[in-house]
Amino acid sequence: MQQLTRNHRPGAGRPTREQAELRHEELLDRALELFLEKGFELVTMEAIAAAVGMTKRTVYARYEDKSALFRAAVQRAIERWVIPVEALQAVETEDLEATLVAIARIRQANAISPVGLRMQRIVNAESYRFPEILHALEHGTRPTIVYLAGLLSRYAQQGQLHIEDAEIAAATFLSMVIGGPTRSIVLGGPVDEAALEKRIQICVRMFLNGVRPR
């Protein structure tokens, strides 16, 4: 859906439902930007309203307070960040190692995308105040874990893998490929694509060596 910018406001009269939804999305986007830039404590509802060109009354009509707006802004960003299962299905082949490498690349790219980095940083900064956003972020990885667990289970049923708990194995695999250099990027470090790719290749081989029957 095309973003409605401050240079493209609805005309006079009552806005259409689509225009109203675009303005709402703009409100959530701008609010999240301000929360990231200044921190929850220093951002005011007045500042958010001014940044998006709304009146305080309009903002308060949707959200009773700053906490409610913060939660909504973070939740929307998480929903946009979730990897569609179709994207994982599209890279699956009969070669399990190649499939896991492709899935790891998707997950890693997702983690260091602009939205992914924003999510990690705001969780790091505000999860003590809003522990539910940490759970929401973890829930956002759930579709990937479920898909990966199903993939591993199929290979286990064929006798090609030995796995006691497919979901734990899937979560472990994702933790392996997202750690290290990826965590450094979240904290503001440089993106070293060669190091990221090397980690994926090593982690996939280590994972498979650990779950193949002996």
pLDDT tens series, the chain, 214 aa: 334 344 445 444 577 888 888 899 999 999 999 998 888 999 999 999 999 999 999 999 999 999 999 999 998 888 888 899 999 999 999 999 999 999 999 999 988 888 888 888 888 888 889 998 888 888 888 999 999 999 999 999 999 999 999 999 999 999 998 877 777 777 777 888 888 899 999 999 999 999 999 8
Distances (CA, A) of 1 to 4, 22, 26, 73, 191: 9, 8, 12, 17, 29
Domains of the chain plus CATH, in order, are 17-78 (1.10.10.60), 83-211 (1.10.357.10)
pLDDT at 113: 86
Amino acid letter for position 201? Q
Query: How far is Cα 121 from Cα 117, in angstroms, rounded to an integer?
Result: 6
What phi, psi does 141 have (nearest 5°)? Answer: -85, -5
Instruction: For residue 141, give the 3-state DSSP assignment.
Output: coil
Query: How far is Cα 97 from Cα 105, in angstroms, rounded to an integer?
Result: 12
pLDDT at 7: 46
Instruction: For residue 40, give the 3-state DSSP assignment.
Output: coil
First to last CA, the chain: 51
pLDDT at 172: 95
Residue 213 near residue 162, CB atoms below 8 Å: yes
